[in-house]
Amino acid sequence: MSELKTGTFSVSDLENVQINIGSIVGAIEKTAAEEGEVGPTIKPNISGLRDWDYKLFERYNPVYTPMCDQCCYCTFGTCDLTGNKEGACGINMEGHNAREFMLRVITGASAHSGHGRHLLHHLIDKYGADYPLKVGQTNIIAPNVQMVTGKKPETLGDLEDSLSYVEEQLVQLLACVHMGQEGEAIDFESKAMHGGMLDHVGMEVSDIAQISCLEMPKADEEPPLSEIGMGTIDSEKPVLLVIGHNVAGVTDIIDYMEDNDLTENMELCGLCCTALDMTRYRTEGGDVPKAKVVGTLAKELKMIRSGVPDVIVVDEQCVRADVLREARELMMPVITTNDKIMYGLPDRSEDDVEDIIDDLKSGRDDGALILDFEKLGEVAPRLTKEMSKIRKEKGVVSLPTEEEFNELTSRCVHCLACELECPTNLPISDAMTAAEEGDLRPFEILHDKCVACGRCEQACPKDIPVLNVIEKASQKVIREERGKVRVGRGQISDPEIREEGVNLVMGTTPGIIAMVGCSNYPDGTKDLYRIADEMLRRNYIVLMSGCSAMDLGMYQNDDGETLYEKYPAKFQKGNLINVGSCVSNSHITAAAIKVAAIFAQRNITGNYEEIADYVLNRVGAVGVAWGAYSQKASSIGTGCNRLGIPVILGPHGSKYRRALIGKPYEEDKWKVLDARNGKTMDIPAAPEFLLTTAETIDEMMPMLAKNCIRPSDNNMGRMIKLTHYIELSEKYLGIIPDDWYRFVRSETDLPLARREELLKKLEQEHGWEIDWNKKKIISGPTSKLDVSAQPTNVERLCKEA
């Protein structure tokens, strides 16, 4: 048996010869290596980037806020770990919580890469493994893939190998959850970081595959706008509602509707990321989106209870577990299309279309599992038309009538049980009283804050369907829920990075604010609008994705414009971009990687640590996941963290039970090396954390500005960033921040208009020496200004002194 290492060979006229091709992966690796420099960590295993993680944890302390003080993982237990006690296997509270956090991260990463695998199978089946990847104007098609796996994929088939790597690593990580084994929290932490990194690879594979095949916008600087909101749905027409994250099957529905002239006569609308991806389907080049977006997971139960949809199609991920039970009550057949959600329904994939439609419209079955997308494409729209007629004839209504509404509000005995069980303790009882007196406003306010979880209804001793009451009372505001969301554009192009990279690294573009994640906001959806509007007016680049991208489009300013209409969508200061759905979050990390690759000419191939170090020290970006609730949000955030991007969560985010917080008073932790000579440089405490929470939007505004500050800022950049930090703190907290002076390296870092005032403060309050003739600082600053310094945390990247 001979083995061929490289090169080509041809075979002809062979008989009875077995040819085994183990893998051609090695050849690709070889190509990557031949084409350029390769870093030290191609396809790192669990311990491959442990040193880098440890560096991060030295400054950013894992902070645990357990949600359950017990462990019940194995039958040795249940063990009480309160007060950091050890369980029967020897693990303590810290270790167990780190393990739980890791489990959350790999659950999220698995959701994305499972999605990616399903999509990739489907697309390779349909388009072939040789189908070329096309993501727009770029030489780096897959920055996360290239940085982590060392591969430069060019075809759909090339992506399989990266996904196999992710899958293998996820299995290894899951194995670590088994009882016993790992004893130290810090190594579970490093494993969580590994899972977060893998997540961005999995997401990138998913998104570039669909962008390439499904004619989605490709790094488009002005993608079209799509309609969003419950108020945009015409309930007179038959309504087909799609819920989930995987657009594969829905594209067949859209195609069937177009081929059969159904588009005008029917409403096709979606909830969650499938909705966003439907609007991306075949809109490359600016075509009109072929579906409408209803909104996020927080709208799922509201939309079903509205009684408007005639048929519901679900795929995977953030889909309520009770869709079938809820829909059954309202005669809405449910079609499941993915083996992640089957709801106990009969598999009709092999059955005749007419039979399936008959069984569903006659009510013989509540729903069907259809894994054949071509069949799904035909059944769903045809059934919707039929069900619309049937449901109208039968007069199916869901929300209470006026009379029923009055009866329900007067039935309330104000026991407050619902409020105790409501995840945000919303004031339901007072709203009931107000409604009884004819004032619906308190319920309208509740409607915006309510995430439609239905827990209140489970608690009510009087069996009041509280959510239906809220929704009935809010009909007027629901009709007005009509907005616009920009269709997801995918990657940031190379020319854009080339132009903007320098501004980001020098700080003259004050930073990137990436608003991602789900819709469990502490104070309603308008929060997102407030954050984005404030930061855009201050010239930050605001990137959106997923549910946050949707909710941002729900609000208009006084001129009736959404922010998507008000601000342009290029990758440059003061612009607002929607990258796309959940899996498009990989383009946010990709943008940071590309700044290192294109602006700084760093090798990214298999070179994770160097790139993460670059991002941590030079790219002023902060992630905001204000309403994060899913495990996917924890893996997305953790992937950002390993790459050196800090993330702020809303108060519900504390329920992830783990943060990464620095201690500004530990002065020895706030130092970097200068790569030119290996000398240590003091830096101020920013980013101050890698993962934390904020209590309110008002508190978060100055946190955003401060945590975009980086050691690489030049004085113009630092001046701009410091100006925003001080101004935002004054505007939202009413104070000059205590630590503002720590960011001053020289008088040129001071906000221009307030230089004299601030110099005085430095002299009087902090004892700095000032030369008042020249208006110069003589002594005081702890960090020095040196614009050519090369800040790094990695010793091996330093030249000898």
Cis (ω within 30 of 0) for the bond into 400? no
657 touching another protein, by CB under 8 A: yes
The one-character DSSP state at 513 is E
| Contacting residue, 323, 466, 604, 648, with ligand SF4 by CB under 6 A | 466
Number of residues interacting with ligand SF4: please give it, by CB under 6 A.
Answer: 39
451 touching ligand SF4, by CB under 6 A: yes
Q: In the structure encoding, which two tokens stand for residue 346, read together? A: 């009969």
| Contacting residue, 562, 692, 712, 792, with another protein by CB under 8 A | 692
* Residue 192 interface partner, choices ligand SF4, another protein, none, CB cut-off 5-8 Å depending on type: none
291 touching another protein, by CB under 8 A: no
Nearer to another protein, 695 or 786 (CB): 695
Closest approach, Cβ 402 to ligand SF4, in A, equals: 19
58 touching another protein, by CB under 8 A: no
Stretch of 167-175, 461-469, 495-503, 669-677 lying at the interface with ligand SF4 (CB under 6 A): 461-469
Closest approach, Cβ 442 to another protein, in A, equals: 14
303 touching ligand SF4, by CB under 6 A: no
| Contacting residue, 443, 567, 670, 689, with another protein by CB under 8 A | 689
Closest approach, Cβ 718 to ligand SF4, in A, equals: 43
* Residue 157 interface partner, choices another protein, ligand SF4, none, CB cut-off 5-8 Å depending on type: none
The count of other CB atoms within 10 Å of the CB of residue 88 is: 13
Nearer to another protein, 361 or 657 (CB): 657
| Contacting residue, 30, 121, 389, 414, with ligand SF4 by CB under 6 A | 414
* Residue 655 interface partner, choices ligand SF4, another protein, none, CB cut-off 5-8 Å depending on type: another protein
> Helix crossing, 715-732 with 697-706: angle to 10°?
170
The one-character DSSP state at 74 is S
- Does residue 228 contact residue 553 with C-beta atoms inside 8 Å? yes
The rounded distance, in Å, linking the Cα atoms of 159 and 700 is: 38
DSSP 577-623: EEEESGGGGHHHHHHHHHIIIIIS----TT-HHHHHHHHHHH--EEE
| Beta bridge partners of residue 541, listed in sequence order | 512
Nearer to another protein, 166 or 701 (CB): 701
| Three-state SS sequence of 289-325 | CCCEEEECHHHHHHHHHCCCCCEEEECCCCCCCCHHH
- Does residue 81 contact residue 93 with C-beta atoms inside 8 Å? yes
412 touching ligand SF4, by CB under 6 A: yes
| Beta bridge partners of residue 660, listed in sequence order | 62, 691
Question: CB-based contacts of 765: which residues, under 8 Å, 6+ apart?
Answer: 741
The rounded distance, in Å, linking the Cα atoms of 279 and 487 is: 6
- Does residue 422 contact residue 435 with C-beta atoms inside 8 Å? no
* Residue 412 interface partner, choices ligand SF4, another protein, none, CB cut-off 5-8 Å depending on type: ligand SF4
Q: Is 371 exposed, middle or buried (0-12, 13-18, 19+ CB in 10 A)?
A: middle
| Contacting residue, 32, 42, 49, 91, with ligand SF4 by CB under 6 A | 91
Phi-psi region of 363 (alpha: psi -120 to 50; beta: other; left: phi over 0): left
Residue 378 to residues 258, 300, 374, 557: CA-CA distances in angstroms? 11, 24, 7, 41
Closest approach, Cβ 696 to another protein, in A, equals: 5
For 188, what's the count of Cα atoms within 13 Å in the CB-facing half-sphere? Answer: 30
For 562, what's the count of Cα atoms within 13 Å in the CB-facing half-sphere? Answer: 24
Give the three-state DSSP class for 512. Answer: strand
| Contacting residue, 312, 452, 583, 700, with ligand SF4 by CB under 6 A | 452
Nearer to ligand SF4, 390 or 417 (CB): 417
| Contacting residue, 694, 709, 719, 722, with another protein by CB under 8 A | 694
| Contacting residue, 111, 460, 590, 633, with ligand SF4 by CB under 6 A | 460
The rounded distance, in Å, linking the Cα atoms of 789 and 674 is: 6
The rounded distance, in Å, linking the Cα atoms of 528 and 535 is: 11
- Does residue 609 contact residue 23 with C-beta atoms inside 8 Å? no
* Residue 93 interface partner, choices another protein, ligand SF4, none, CB cut-off 5-8 Å depending on type: another protein
Closest approach, Cβ 476 to another protein, in A, equals: 27
Stretch of 44-52, 162-170, 324-332, 452-460 lying at the interface with ligand SF4 (CB under 6 A): 452-460
Nearer to ligand SF4, 358 or 448 (CB): 448
The one-character DSSP state at 519 is B
* Residue 466 interface partner, choices ligand SF4, another protein, none, CB cut-off 5-8 Å depending on type: ligand SF4
| Beta bridge partners of residue 88, listed in sequence order | none
The rounded distance, in Å, linking the Cα atoms of 733 and 316 is: 42
- Give the largest Cα separation in the chain, rounded: 94
The 90-119 contact track toward another protein, x by CB under 8 A, reads: ---xx-------------------------
Give the three-state DSSP class for 659. Answer: strand
Stretch of 66-74, 231-239, 317-325, 383-391 lying at the interface with ligand SF4 (CB under 6 A): 66-74
Number of residues interacting with another protein: please give it, by CB under 8 A.
Answer: 49
Nearer to another protein, 237 or 663 (CB): 663
Nearer to another protein, 283 or 729 (CB): 729
Please report, as residue ranges, which positions from 413 to 472 form the binding site for another protein (by CB under 8 A): 416, 420-421, 423-425
288 touching ligand SF4, by CB under 6 A: no
DSSP 421-435: HSTT---HHHHHHHH
For CA atoms 652, 654, 656, 657, the dihedral sign is negative
Stretch of 160-168, 419-427, 559-567, 703-711 lying at the interface with ligand SF4 (CB under 6 A): 419-427
Nearer to ligand SF4, 522 or 684 (CB): 522
* Residue 454 interface partner, choices ligand SF4, another protein, none, CB cut-off 5-8 Å depending on type: ligand SF4
Nearer to ligand SF4, 477 or 797 (CB): 477
The count of other CB atoms within 10 Å of the CB of residue 610 is: 21
77 touching ligand SF4, by CB under 6 A: yes
For Cα atoms 140, 143, 144, give the angle at the middle one, nearest 5 degrees: 160
The rounded distance, in Å, linking the Cα atoms of 349 and 255 is: 19
473 touching ligand SF4, by CB under 6 A: no
Closest approach, Cβ 302 to ligand SF4, in A, equals: 9
Nearer to ligand SF4, 462 or 784 (CB): 462
Please report, as residue ranges, which positions from 168 to 227 form the binding site for ligand SF4 (by CB under 6 A): 179
Measured in degrees and rounded to the nearest 5, phi and psi for residue 108 equal -65, -45
Please report, as residue ranges, which positions from 695 to 734 form the binding site for another protein (by CB under 8 A): 695-696, 698-699, 703, 732-734
408 touching ligand SF4, by CB under 6 A: no
* Residue 798 interface partner, choices another protein, ligand SF4, none, CB cut-off 5-8 Å depending on type: none
Question: CB-based contacts of 790: which residues, under 8 Å, 6+ apart?
Answer: 674, 675, 676
CA–centroid distance for 159 within its chain: 22
Closest approach, Cβ 296 to another protein, in A, equals: 20
* Residue 64 interface partner, choices another protein, ligand SF4, none, CB cut-off 5-8 Å depending on type: another protein
| Contacting residue, 530, 663, 754, 755, with another protein by CB under 8 A | 663
The rounded distance, in Å, linking the Cα atoms of 769 and 786 is: 20
Stretch of 354-362, 408-416, 435-443, 791-799 lying at the interface with ligand SF4 (CB under 6 A): 408-416
* Residue 693 interface partner, choices ligand SF4, another protein, none, CB cut-off 5-8 Å depending on type: another protein
The rounded distance, in Å, linking the Cα atoms of 565 and 488 is: 14
Q: Which residues bind ligand SF4 (CB under 6 A)?
A: 71-74, 76-79, 87-89, 91, 179, 412-418, 422-423, 426, 428-429, 432, 450-456, 459-460, 462, 464, 466-467
